[in-house]
Structure 1
Amino acid sequence: MDTTALDASYFDEQLYVKHVAVDNVIFGYHDRELKVLLQRPNYQQKWTVAGGYVRKTESVEEAAHNIAFLRTGLKDLFLEQFRSFGNPSRTKEDWLAIKKSFENAGVQPPPDSWILDYSVSIAFYTLTEFSLVSVQKGPFDEALEWWPVAQLPPMMFDHALIIEEALKALRRDIYHYPIGYELLPRKFTLPEIHSLYETILGKTLDNRNFTRKLMSSGIIKKLDEIRSIGAHRSPYLYKFEKKKYDAALKNGIFLGF
């Protein structure tokens, strides 16, 4: 739900594409956990992914980018459309509670407003480096927080399913696109990128095979720099090779770990 402005214009059908929403599953990686940025509407106990309706002046991709920017403060993040969700019962149970949130915030939805009716959601996932995000709560949000994907709070509507499907899409795409670039700091160690891929895929990856496949792809390169993390522990740093990364992002690769 769009939190940029909470007033009567929010219900103006001249501004929005009726019955079409965009939900954006924003992933970050922190402390060896894959996390998702969730919002909790005012006066609610359940949470949702970041989302909003599509203005008539923007494409669905632009809407997804705007939603990510409003919550993270970052522009031009990597995002991927992965599914749409449409079912007459997908929002029915929780919309009365949302209507109450509007009223408690001093905004009265028209009784026949399309916004309280069945909408189809076009779903994207977005990847961002956790440390760069400046979480920005909107006027309709009671809270906006990172949650581990493995420990989600109670979710509204069908948003638990949306996150589940986003994770499936991410796991599928990680074999074909070098998406670690979006989640790691600019410089990283081999153990760090190995841990990232294991966390996303939810399985153990043979270390030597993983390193061999990743290095042979040409998308990362070793730097003449080390990170000192203790006695006898000074691993080399690596970074993504931007030209190879861009080509792999455009044409795809296969990382058969």
Structure 2
Amino acid sequence: MELFNKEEFIEQVSVDCVIFGFHDRQLRVLLPRLKNMDIWMVPGGFVRQNESVDNAALRILAERTGIKDIYLEQFGVFGSLERSSPQLMRQVIKLIKGGLGEGEVLSEDLQWLQRRFISIGYYALVDIHRVVPVCSALDETCEWYDIKDLPLLAFDHADIIMKALESLRLMLNYKLIGFNLLPETFTMKEVQDLYETILDRPFRRNNFQKMILDLDILERLEKKFTGAANKAPYLYRFKSLEKIADK
């Protein structure tokens, strides 16, 4: 089974991807749950011998979300001596064996999975409405969870998610990356809801709108139809890179 063939991958290096989505004023994280276990993991995988670490992360994200044009940011390396859990890995290996046909992988060929792994952390920002979560062969489910109400996570994955959130907050204004969590068109209220949710603090509406419009990165479209034209909010979209460069 190629997924766990040690000759195919770089041993003791893994990639963990924190996939953020935004919906109903909640910042959400996509998490698979392991079969027959009440434990969840950040989507991850291994780096092939013939691919870069970035491409490995993009491949894993495409496999999990069904989309390829994903905003991706590397945010940390996790190599604590305490991050491994041999007991949990034995349970995972048992799951792998249960899903293999006879003779596909010998027992000794799976022992490399019990060694210490150094993990490279990435976070991805997606329009949650475009994602169709995909389970791997080891998963019971793969669903979105509110970052303020996470289930029991394996290894150091709770720490990885919190580090990803810290990085997202630091980069929110610097790279204007929050817009990757919104659909193609959006209202100013949706932008403010997004910022308030990520940063976990309120903004005054007029001050926030001025701050965003002063960045000169949005173009205003028609009003959003709500049945009351005089009260309907305007829709916006992110300007093309060419228009921004012309300024």
Whether 2:95 is the aligned partner of 1:98: answer no
Pick one of 200, 223, 226 that aligns with 2:223. 226
Letter matched to residue 117 of structure 1: R
Output the CA distance in 2 between the equivalents of 1:33 and 1:185. 15
- The alpha carbon displacement at 1:246 in A equals 7.2
Letter matched to residue 30 of structure 1: H
- The alpha carbon displacement at 1:230 in A equals 4.8
- Comparing 190-199 with 110-119, greater Cα deviation is found at 110-119
- The alpha carbon displacement at 1:42 in A equals 1.9
SS at match of 1:113: helix
Q: What is the aligned partner in structure 2 of residue 45 from structure 1? A: 38
The 1:47/1:192 distance shift into structure 2, 3 A limit, reads same
Q: Deviations over 1:22-56 (max 9, x none)?
A: 00000011111110100112222100011001001
Q: Contact between 1:102 and 1:108, CA under 8 Å: does it hold in 2?
A: no
Q: Contact between 1:35 and 1:148, CA under 8 Å: does it hold in 2?
A: yes
Output the CA distance in 2 between the equivalents of 1:187 and 1:244. 18
Output the CA distance in 2 between the equivalents of 1:26 and 1:203. 22
The 1:46/1:244 distance shift into structure 2, 3 A limit, reads farther
Output the CA distance in 2 between the equivalents of 1:109 and 1:10. 15
SS at match of 1:203: coil
Output the CA distance in 1 between the equivalents of 2:197 and 2:138. 32
Q: What is the aligned partner in structure 2 of residue 160 from structure 1? A: 158
- The alpha carbon displacement at 1:140 in A equals 1.8
Pick one of 194, 197, 214 that aligns with 2:195. 197
Output the CA distance in 2 between the equivalents of 1:143 and 1:108. 27
Output the CA distance in 1 between the equivalents of 2:243 and 2:179. 8
Letter matched to residue 160 of structure 1: A
SS at match of 1:101: helix
SS at match of 1:180: helix
Letter matched to residue 63 of structure 1: A
SS at match of 1:197: helix
Q: What is the aligned partner in structure 2 of residue 4 from structure 1? A: none
Letter matched to residue 146 of structure 2: P
Q: Contact between 1:178 and 1:245, CA under 8 Å: does it hold in 2?
A: no
Output the CA distance in 1 between the equivalents of 2:15 and 2:165. 17
- The alpha carbon displacement at 1:108 in A equals 5.7
Q: What is the aligned partner in structure 1 of residue 55 from structure 2? A: 62
Q: What is the aligned partner in structure 2 of residue 250 from structure 1? A: none
Q: TM-score, normalised by structure 1?
A: 0.87
Pick one of 24, 34, 40 that aligns with 2:27. 34
Q: Deviations over 1:185-238 (max 9, x none)?
A: 111111110001100111112222211111111111212x11133545301111
Is there any run of 5+ residues in structure 2 with no aligned partner, and where?
none
- The alpha carbon displacement at 1:161 in A equals 0.6
Q: What is the aligned partner in structure 1 of residue 128 from structure 2? A: 130
SS at match of 1:151: coil
- The alpha carbon displacement at 1:99 in A equals 2.3
Output the CA distance in 1 between the equivalents of 2:106 and 2:199. 45
- Comparing 186-195 with 111-120, greater Cα deviation is found at 111-120
Letter matched to residue 81 of structure 2: P
Output the CA distance in 2 between the equivalents of 1:168 and 1:244. 30
SS at match of 1:124: strand
Q: Contact between 1:215 and 1:221, CA under 8 Å: does it hold in 2?
A: no
Output the CA distance in 1 between the equivalents of 2:53 and 2:185. 33
Pick one of 80, 84, 91 that aligns with 2:77. 84
SS at match of 1:205: coil
